[in-house]
Structures are given as structure tokens and as C-alpha cells.
Amino acid sequence: MVQSSVLGFPRIGAQRELKKITEAYWSKKASVEELLAKGKEIRAHNWKLQQAAGVDVIASNDFSFYDQVLDLSLLFNVIPDRYTKFDLAPIDVLFAMGRGLQRKATETEAAVDVTALEMVKWFDSNYHYVRPTFSHSTEFKLNSAAGLKPVVEYLEAKELGVETRPVVVGPISYLYLGKADKDSLDLDPISLLDKFLPVYKSLLAELYSAGAKTVQIDEPILVLDLPENVQKLYKGAFEQLTGEGLPEIVLTTYFGDVRPNLSAIKNLPVSGLHFDFARAPEQFDEVVAAVSDSQTLSVGVVDGRNIWKTDYTKASALVNKAIEKLGKDRVVVATSSSLLHTPVDLANESKLDPVIADWFQFATQKLDAVVAIAKDVSGEDVADLYAANAKSIKARQESSITTNPEVQKRMATINESLSTRSSPFPERLAAQKEKYNLPLFPTTTIGSFPQTKDIRINRNKFTKGTITKEEYEQFINQEIETVIRFQEEIGLDVLVHGEPERNDMVQYFGEQLQGYAFTTNGWVQSYGSRYVRPPIIVGDVSRPKAMSVKESVYAQSLTKLPVKGMLTGPVTCLRWSFPRDDVSQKVQSLQLGLALRDEVQDLEAAGITVIQVDEPAIREGLPLRSGQERSDYLNWAAQSFRVATSGVVNSTQIHSHFCYSDLDPNHIKALDADVVSIEFSKKDDANYIREFSDYPNHIGLGLFDIHSPRIPSKEEFVTRIEEILKVYPADKFWVNPDCGLKTRGWEETKASLTNMVDAAKEFRAKY
């Protein structure tokens, strides 16, 4: 029998149980016992679900209360000193590292004030991990304060009658994905491998003693351009991690093509190798040839990153090719990666058009897919399942929902002039200076203000029909007015309307565009307790009517100060949706660019002449490896943005915004936005700041972390601005937070922004 394997299952719960309990815990409405019990319940549910579906190899330790990489930092004692001095419980140390912690002293608790660790994108996905942060004083050891999580969860499954394969991020990826702490900037994390391996090995030994025969070790960095010295580490490292008293290892890679690093993993003493053939089928022949005689091959054919129904016939063909070479008992049918990146269950979607729903598989349905394919290649009769599958695949291919001739005609009109502004930046700058007369160190925000409970309740009521459209719009207008008045009061220069009408920056537009489908419950974890519901691009995209003009115009009517119109850019709309797999990403992005171009022009015509087109996802979309695909991406990504934004006059000021991860300023120059704002508060490397000083247009380097409720003082802002001014010119300097404030409460929002604006004023007086 060919086995089926799932590399990881979403941990958020089908009804977002994890979010609810974690947030209740943070706001002291649930106890730590309740939190832990709920985690246990979710894990049990997921294991049982997979067992019932007939999955042979089920992962454990794929659960996390915040992030699986952060869990390892706690487990291996990679905890910067600033988090350990408060005597917090282990789970609170975890959350403090993940999201910062600031609390006043009470009779029973001491005051705490600590910022979060840096959070960055997990490869090219929209998931974020908390970056391991090392210093010269890092002392690896197994931190058993809260039990050894992988062992605890393995045993927990076992007790339920489910034999699992624990999954742990591999030692080389763990170090490589980390960074040096600010007190140890000369430290290269990878140099810590020798110290780290014995501790990593002791974890494996503990798992083995607990009964785990095999462990899944994820080494996703194997799909990156790895320096030779890192490639060379694999052999020695895995030799150390195998032997008597240790479990067998299945080494997993995903999200790309491993071939350039193949020599690193050839002949490793591991019992199996896993490759992602959903993403990179082109590597098949070479990687299969690299599987040694004693090893198994885990064939990742069921896509862990998208929702399209797996084509069973195609998948079987690929798996059979592997079986021909290796034999049935050395081949495993698997998901391409963890299913963390897909929504939990299609059965929870009652509002999707059934014709379209038939094209999808969410995580729960993907379990059936791996099992069906494993059965088929084992020679079991699954003809009915295959016939039904073939019918859906064909129906989608032939559906008229996917094609719009009008859109295709318009695509042919895209050329240089359609994607270039009429004058270069200096001329635009002069026109904008004259029009807005902004002070030095202009202050602004990134768009959203707190999405309060009240806002969510009213949106819910409106969706359910218990309040009328008029009542809802009136409510939204009140919210806009509150936000405008607040900004005026504290002295911000360029205002925003606050985005109260938006459930999500992509979904909101997706719902108004043609060519999109959207779910009611298709949540996917983005970071911590923040989940998104990516819309699905099912066909050619177009904009039937204006999407954001009304709210912006209303906001502008309330104030003399400029109000920024706020749109989500084409690349972000694409990246934060589930894209089509039947046309290229470039085509989808340019179609979105055209739709947004109409919106930008409608805003301008309605008197909204500062317009921000957010592209926070542009960095994550960057192909993981350098080369042709990457340079093509940079070209079409920038062109899509320019298609959207270049149809305006010189005095209209185009802003853009980027967040998360390390952005290369060279990659955003081609967007030619007048002002960009960037997440920056966690960047303390002066060299990195310096890279931005050559950026030709204006920049706001984000001054505070919006993922954390912590309030920076005015002095903190002043110090930070001074630091940046050492390498960055004052006349291009905008003052703003890292990102939108939708996840924050009003209390901290008010305090932080007031301090920020006061700091800017101080510099204005000096310059």
C-alpha cells in the first residue's frame, strides 16, 4: 500500500476557536487553563479528523498558540534577556516575544514594558513567523518549563490512539531564518550551529524515548539561493542527528525547486525526502534520481498553498512515475506543504455558487485528495472518485465564468504611455508643494483606525439584514467623522478616513470586482490571532463601478486638510487572494491594475488628490530565487502599479505603502510613487537605513510597531527620528507608523499618535 501523508493541518479551528480563546486570554476574560484546554481540544479534533479520513502519516506539533518558529525559540531557550526578567509564565513569555507586552504594576504583578520581536513573512506566503533573535549570550538548552511541546503533543495524540509524526523546523533553517539581536550585530546566527546541534539532538532523543519512530524535519530554506557555506552544513548536521536512540528523519522542503541545492541533501542519512511538486513539478526527474536506495520519497502533489481541486488523474500519473523508479513501498503521496495556508473546510461555505464551489478543495477536502490518490496508485478501486474529479476539472476548464472578452480587449491597450506618469518626480513634487504646502516632517497614518467591536457588530448586523443600508452607512459616516476629528485635534497633516467600512483590505475590493469569488468562513492564519479570508480569483477581473469614492468624498467634506484616498494595489490584491492557476500571475495583476486605474481616476475627479495605493504584499511576491522569474516579477509588479496610478495630473500625490520583511529600495523605485511609507520600527541596522537614503522620492520610515499595544513615548520617537536623521535627509522625511491601526484599540492609538505628532513638531521647530 502506498501511504498518504499530510505535512500539517490548520490550527485555527473551523470556527476560529483559537483566535477567540487567545484574545479572550489576552484580555483576561479566559484563564490560562481554559486557553490550554482549548488548544488541546483543537489538536484532538484535527488528529481525529485526519485519522477518520484515512490519512496514514499525520503530523503533530503542527499546532501553535502563536507561531511554530516562535515555539522553537521558547523551547530552545532562544529568549532575549529582556523577556525573562519579569518572571512571566512560559506562555506569557511566548506572547510577549510575539506581540510585546506593556502593563502597569498591580498589587500582584510587576510593571512590564517590552517590544515584540521582529515578525517576517514565511517565504513567499502571507503567513508571518517571529524571527529567532540571537545574541552572544544566547544559551541553547531544552527549556522544559512548560514541558517539551513536541513531546507533549506527540504523547497527547498517542493517548487518543493516533500515532503521529512530529514536525519541527530544521536546525539550519531555524538559524538561517533568524537574526542577530541589536546588542550582537556582528553575530551570524548560522555560526551557532555547532552549539545548537547537540540541543536539537537532545530534543530528537526525547521524541524517540516517547515513542516517535520518525520525525518530519522541515528545511524550507533549501528552496532559496543558499550560500555555499550553508549548503555544506547539511551533511555534517544530519550525520549528527541520526543514530542509535534517535528517530528516523524525513527531510521536507516546499515552496519551490530544490535543484540548485540538491548536492546539499544527496546521501544524507535521512530515511525520506519530501519535495513540492505542486509548485515545482519541473524538478521531478532530478530530485527523484537523488533519492538514495534506502530512502522513501514523499511526493507533494496536493497543493498546500491554493484551493483548486487537485487533478487526480494528473497527480496519479506523477506518483506512478515515482513508483516505477522506486517501488510502491518507497513512495508516499503527500500535501505539497503544511495545509496551514488553506481554509479549514469547504463544507462551511453555504453562500458560494455551487458551480464554483465544485472547483475547490479546502484543507479538509485535501485530506480526501491525498487518501484517494494513495488508494488509486495502490491499485484500489476509486473509479467513482476519479470520475467525479475529472468532471469538475473539465467543468471549470469549459466554464464561461472564467473569461471576459472585454477585459481581454482592454489588456491589449497596455503600453508604455499607459503606465508612465506624464512628468518626472521633480516636476510633480513642485506641483504638489504648491498645492498642499505641507510642513517639513509631514505626519500621516497608513489608513485604518481601530476596527472596534462596535464596527464589527454593525457590519454583522448589516450583513445579516437586521439594519438597513442607510442605517449602516450612517453608522460608517459617524465613524469617519470621529476619525477625522481626532486627527485634526492632534495635528496630523494628511488625514485618512479610517477604513471602517472595510472588513479587509483585499476582500473589500474583491467583493466589488467581477471575476472574484469570496467565502464566508475561509479563514487562514496570517500571524498570531490575525486571520484573513482571501478572496478567490476565478476569472478575468473588472470593476463594474466605483468602490471607495463615496467614503473618501464624505471624509473630505468634513475637513480642509487633505484626506488620502485609500486603495489596495494590484499585486497585493493578487497575492492576498487565491490566484487562478489557469492564467499567469502577470495577467491577473495587470487586469487588477486596469480595474484600479479607473478607481484612481474616479477618486481624482471627485477631488481626492492624495491617493495611497497599498502594496504591502509586493515583497512577499518576490520569487524566492534570483534570476529571470524574479526580474520578470519586478517588472510586471511595478508595471501593474503604474497602470493603476499613472493616469493622474502632476499635482495629484500618489502614495504607496509596504510592510513586513526586508524590502530592497531598488525594488520599489520602478513604482515611481511620490511618497512611500514602509514598516521600519524593528530595523535597527544603520546600514539598512542608509540604503533608503538614495531613494529618489519621499519616504516615511515607520516609527512604531502597530502589531503591539505598546505605547512609545514622545522621547522614544525623538530618539528614533534623530537616529534615522543621521543617515536620512530631513527634506524627504515623512512621519508615520509602521502600518494601519485596525488591530489596535483606541486608547493606545490615541496615545501613540499624539506622541508621534508631538515629536514631529519638535523637529519642525529645529529645522
Q: Applying CB under 6 A, which residues contact ligand GLN?
A: 446-448, 499, 505, 566, 614, 616, 657, 659, 739-740, 742
Asked if residue 301 lies in contact with residue 315, where contact means CB atoms within 8 angstroms, the answer is: yes
Q: How far is the CB of 655 from ligand GLN (least distance, A)?
A: 10
Is 739 known to sit in a ligand binding site? yes
Q: How far is the CB of 445 from ligand GLN (least distance, A)?
A: 7
Which residues on adjacent β-strands are paired with residue 635?
none
Contacts 24+ apart (CB under 8 A), 82-91: 82/114, 83/114, 86/110, 86/112, 86/114, 88/112, 89/32, 89/146, 90/143, 90/145, 90/146, 91/32, 91/35, 91/36, 91/65, 91/146
- The per-residue b/e assignment along 44-72, b for 16 or more CB within 10 angstroms, e otherwise, is eebbebbbebebbbbbbbbbbbbbbbbbb
Binding segment toward Zn ion, per CB under 5 A, in 82-90, 343-351, 651-659, 725-733: 651-659
Q: For 57, which DSSP code?
A: E
Q: For 763, which DSSP code?
A: H
Side-chain half-sphere CA neighbours of 277 within 13 A = 28
Cα–Cα distance between 142 and 137 in angstroms, integer? 16
Interface positions, 736-765, toward Zn ion (CB under 5 A): 739
Site string (352-391) toward Zn ion, x via CB under 5 A: ----------------------------------------
Q: How far is the CB of 739 from ligand GLN (least distance, A)?
A: 5
Residue carrying C-alpha cell 534506502: 294
Q: How far is the CB of 387 from ligand GLN (least distance, A)?
A: 43
Is 19 known to sit in a ligand binding site? yes
Q: How far is the CB of 678 from Zn ion (least distance, A)?
A: 9
Angle at 464 between CA 463 and CA 470, to 5 degrees: 60
Is 308 known to sit in a ligand binding site? no
Angle at 705 between CA 701 and CA 709, to 5 degrees: 155
The cell for 404 is 471576459
Asked if residue 307 lies in contact with residue 523, where contact means CB atoms within 8 angstroms, the answer is: no
Residue type, 683: K
Query: Which CB atom, from 62 or from 679, has the smaller least distance to ligand GLN?
Result: 679
Binding segment toward Zn ion, per CB under 5 A, in 193-201, 267-275, 309-317, 735-743: 735-743
Is 573 known to sit in a ligand binding site? no
Is 98 known to sit in a ligand binding site? no
The cell for 8 is 500539517
Cα–Cα distance between 697 and 693 in angstroms, integer? 10
Q: How far is the CB of 642 from Zn ion (least distance, A)?
A: 20
* Residue 659 binds Zn ion (CB under 5 A): yes
Taking alpha carbons only, the member of 520, 557, 545 closest to residue 535 is: 520
* Residue 616 binds Zn ion (CB under 5 A): yes
Site string (170-209) toward Zn ion, x via CB under 5 A: ----------------------------------------
Query: Which CB atom, from 241 or from 566, has the smaller least distance to ligand GLN?
Result: 566
Which residues on adjacent β-strands are paired with residue 564?
610
Task: Please identify every residue annotated as catalytic.
Answer: 707
With CB under 5 to 8 Å by kind, the binding choice for 297 among ligand GLN, Zn ion, none is none
Q: Whole-angstrom distance between the N-terminal and C-terminal Cα of the chain? A: 75
Which residues on adjacent β-strands are paired with residue 516?
537
Query: Which CB atom, from 300 or from 616, has the smaller least distance to ligand GLN?
Result: 616
Query: Which CB atom, from 361 or from 444, has the smaller least distance to Zn ion?
Result: 444
Q: How far is the CB of 606 from Zn ion (least distance, A)?
A: 25
| Residue 660 region by backbone torsions, left for phi larger than 0, else alpha for psi between -120 and 50, else beta | left
With CB under 5 to 8 Å by kind, the binding choice for 742 among ligand GLN, Zn ion, none is ligand GLN
With CB under 5 to 8 Å by kind, the binding choice for 447 among ligand GLN, Zn ion, none is ligand GLN
Binding segment toward Zn ion, per CB under 5 A, in 266-274, 294-302, 317-325, 612-620: 612-620
Is 21 known to sit in a ligand binding site? no
Is 614 known to sit in a ligand binding site? yes
Q: Give the annotated binding-site residues.
A: 19, 126, 446-448, 499, 576, 614, 657, 659, 679, 739
Q: Give the annotated binding-site residues for L-homocysteine.
A: 446-448, 614
Residues making contact with Zn ion (CB under 5 A) = 616, 659, 739
